[in-house]
Chains A and B, each alone.
Chain A
């Protein structure tokens, strides 16, 4: 029986292997700017900003078992908060990012408070409403202040250190991502994280254990909203431009696709899913350029990139839900187990 061997084996790989893995990933991440061109590094930075949002959404969906379609809206709140602080108030960059996180948390609290009083599913509706209302308000705000071209932000200045190069941005975003990763994983292993997972798996059991269900759900949503707000601010400064068309509902669906593909509740999976989804268009266009010039097919794909993306995201969400509910994280775990067995550990 497989179950007995499962119990005999240590559930997690030995500590040394875990450390080696972490070291390997970190070394690769640190060395990446040496290996990639500027444009490619930009793609990775962009993927990492989205990964922040995916990690945050994973707290809400993967750990607490709630559906949120509000990622794009909260991202926009952060971005417009950063634009306002930088352009109108002249606040320094680090302080601006804190304001973004606070704004995200505040909006999350305002929406989560009424929605989570009743049933988890209401958060899906409330965040959908949030999306349309926030985008409407921000587009009026943009139209009333700077016009259709949107805000232009100054160069970010981190305590006198000007972020004027791609690699400098890369390291800043990498540090943010690592910090966020560690923070979320620590919370996941704490009392709060265990409470979230229990109320995801059985709200009734959670309530009978004395967990204040609504309060913990709200905490998950507000915490995640703060991270998304922060990443929105980072996004605004990184692109030094904020305009309303950058935050469609499709963006929220994209982030949901990231964590479904990455695997429920797995922080590393969320990052993997973020890379997968955000590098997909690039991979597709690369594929197009490599393909023999079948003009009709190439032209068709090039002309309908947006629609094809919608289909691919939707198809991936459905496909992973049905066939591989644990996502890339689950696949990776299986491969790793096989690999370790092969090495004789």
Chain B
């Protein structure tokens, strides 16, 4: 039973991070290796507004969203717009440079020790049958993940911007021809991915602590559920997250704490070996 609770909790955080990876890959075609750095930076920004400056919650959330938008704007207009038309591997290396840069900035700005983040409500623990415990923040985390997925489903099927994003993902040039402002779509893509990744970071901070290695521990590893589900498949994110979270929880249970850092990567190597396109991924069209 506690394995189930642990899996669900971890899976909801992994699902959010993997969503950010898949969203970037689908809308802009970029494998964003800076997702981990984004996750950490976003969570630290939130912490700055919430804990250091003790702003009201509404302003904290607004400030976090606006700073995410600013980062997305600079990333697209300052960097990736100038690299438009470059081959895939150049873009990936650019995100790697970005990751290194952001990681340095993060550690320079916020230091290297873990900290607790200001809580909107007191944490409580609930005992479930079968020796399982879940905290109020654990329940909130699972709830937030569900809400995000329902909301994004509505966003991509019902709203104009959501549909435009899907069109751009299908074919950027045709989208531009039909009057969609592709740059703006890409900025929104970066923004949503940044926000969702850092939302996972914030939830992680409420469940454990805000720590500098969060970017690697949750963000970078979030590529595992994305790959298991299929890098270009939003549908695959949730099963992918469940599988990786289950493997990690069981791995830690059977073989000890040090397995936490490595299970997700072993899953990646296994998936590449067995089913490289993931559970729901489409086989690439020009397979040469």
B-binding residues in A (CB < 8 A): 61, 65-67, 69, 111, 114-115, 117-122, 124-126, 128-130, 132-133, 136, 140, 200, 203-204, 206-207, 213, 250, 253, 256-257, 260, 304, 306-318, 321-322, 325
* Given A136-B262, A315-B101, A317-B94, A126 contacting B223 (CB threshold 8 A): no
* Contact among B104, B265, B288 for A307, CB-based, below 8 A: B104
Q: In this complex, what residue of B is CB-closest to A252?
A: B96
List of A residues within 8 angstroms of B101 by Cβ: 310-311, 314-315, 318
* Given A119-B284, A130-B269, A253-B100, A321 contacting B92 (CB threshold 8 A): no
* Contact among B98, B277, B286 for A314, CB-based, below 8 A: B98
User: What is the interface of chain B mostly: helix, strand, loop, or mixed?
Assistant: helix
List of B residues within 8 angstroms of A66 by Cβ: 89
B87 contacts partner chain A, Cβ-Cβ < 8 Å: yes
List of B residues within 8 angstroms of A250 by Cβ: 100
B70 contacts partner chain A, Cβ-Cβ < 8 Å: no
B143 contacts partner chain A, Cβ-Cβ < 8 Å: no
Residues 235-258 of B at the A interface (beta carbon under 8 Å): 258
* Contact among A126, A136, A260, A312 for B272, CB-based, below 8 A: A126
List of A residues within 8 angstroms of B272 by Cβ: 114-115, 122, 125-126, 129
Residues 253-288 of B at the A interface (beta carbon under 8 Å): 258, 261-262, 265-266, 268-269, 272-273, 276-277, 284, 286-288
List of A residues within 8 angstroms of B98 by Cβ: 314, 318
Bound complex: CA of A111 vs CA of B266, how far in Å?
Answer: 12
Bound complex: CA of A204 vs CA of B276, how far in Å?
Answer: 21
Bound complex: CA of A307 vs CA of B223, how far in Å?
Answer: 24
Evaluate contact between B93 and A256: CB separation under 8 angstroms: yes
Evaluate contact between A121 and B261: CB separation under 8 angstroms: no
Q: In this complex, what residue of B is CB-closest to A311?
A: B104
Chain B proximity of A123: nearest CB distance (Å): 9
Evaluate contact between A203 and B288: CB separation under 8 angstroms: yes
Bound complex: CA of A65 vs CA of B92, how far in Å?
Answer: 11
List of B residues within 8 angstroms of A129 by Cβ: 265-266, 268-269, 272
* Given A125-B31, A128-B220, A129-B265, A310 contacting B93 (CB threshold 8 A): no
Chain B proximity of A157: nearest CB distance (Å): 37
B66-95 near A? 1/0 per residue, CB < 8 Å = 000000000000010011000111101110
Bound complex: CA of A48 vs CA of B272, how far in Å?
Answer: 34
B134 contacts partner chain A, Cβ-Cβ < 8 Å: no
Q: In this complex, what residue of A is CB-closest to B284?
A: A119
Bound complex: CA of A225 vs CA of B88, how far in Å?
Answer: 22
B97 contacts partner chain A, Cβ-Cβ < 8 Å: yes
* Contact among A126, A310, A321 for B100, CB-based, below 8 A: A310
Evaluate contact between B89 and A121: CB separation under 8 angstroms: yes
Evaluate contact between A321 and B97: CB separation under 8 angstroms: yes
Chain B proximity of A191: nearest CB distance (Å): 19
* Contact among A115, A130, A132, A204 for B288, CB-based, below 8 A: A204
- By Cβ-Cβ distance, the 5 closest A-B pairs, closest first, are A314-B101, A317-B97, A310-B104, A314-B100, A311-B104
Chain A proximity of B268: nearest CB distance (Å): 4
Evaluate contact between B93 and A260: CB separation under 8 angstroms: yes
B103 contacts partner chain A, Cβ-Cβ < 8 Å: yes
Evaluate contact between B83 and A314: CB separation under 8 angstroms: no
Evaluate contact between A314 and B220: CB separation under 8 angstroms: no
Bound complex: CA of A250 vs CA of B101, how far in Å?
Answer: 11
Please list 21 pairs of residues, one from A and one from B, whose beta carbons are closer than 8 Å in the complex, sorted by A's number.
A61-B89, A61-B93, A66-B89, A115-B272, A117-B276, A118-B277, A122-B272, A124-B31, A125-B272, A129-B266, A204-B286, A256-B96, A304-B107, A306-B107, A308-B108, A314-B97, A314-B102, A317-B94, A317-B100, A321-B93, A322-B82
